[in-house]
């Protein structure tokens, strides 16, 4: 079992396997967050939060970005009002050795919505 945790440990995410691929997106929000996204089917992810997460949504309100209500780390995003077939886990919350072998893909979320590699 792979675990991703915020800085204070109040939000813990469990997934069955480390990501083989992670995405760095340059859209207006991901650029500011500095997140590296590992995508999973929501059925593969278990989120446990000892404190409520704070949620931020913008634009079309289709994604809910969650951050720890205690330390403020951005932990994941979840889909809103659409088929929940994918969610993003911030791979920066995982141990660096777990993501060291993952392929980093660069998504031009700012303009073309296509991968640049």
- In the chain, what percentage of residues exceed pLDDT 90? 91
| pLDDT, tens digit, 9 for 90 and up, residues 26-80 | 999 999 999 999 999 999 999 999 999 999 998 889 999 999 999 999 999 999 9
pLDDT tens digits, one per residue of 31-44: 999 999 999 999 99
What is the C-alpha to C-alpha distance for residues 117 and 86, in angstroms, rounded to an integer? 21
Please enumerate in sequence order all residues whose Cβ is within 8 A of that of 16, keeping only pairs 6 or more positions apart, or say none: 1, 2, 44
Does the pTM of the predicted model rise above 0.85?
yes
């Amino acid at each position: 079992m792979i675990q991703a945790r915020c800085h204070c440990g109040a939000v813990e995410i469990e997934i069955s396997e480390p990501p083989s691929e992670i995405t760095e997106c340059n859209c207006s929000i991901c650029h500011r967050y500095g997140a590296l996204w590992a995508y999973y089917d929501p059925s593969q992810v278990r989120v446990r939060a000892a404190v409520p997460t704070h949620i931020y949504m913008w634009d079309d309100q289709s994604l809910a970005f969650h951050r720890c209500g205690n330390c403020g780390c951005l932990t994941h995003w979840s889909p809103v009002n659409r088929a929940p077939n994918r969610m993003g886990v911030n791979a920066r919350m995982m141990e660096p050795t777990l993501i060291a072998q993952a392929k980093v893909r660069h998504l031009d979320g700012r303009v073309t919505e296509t991968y640049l590699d």
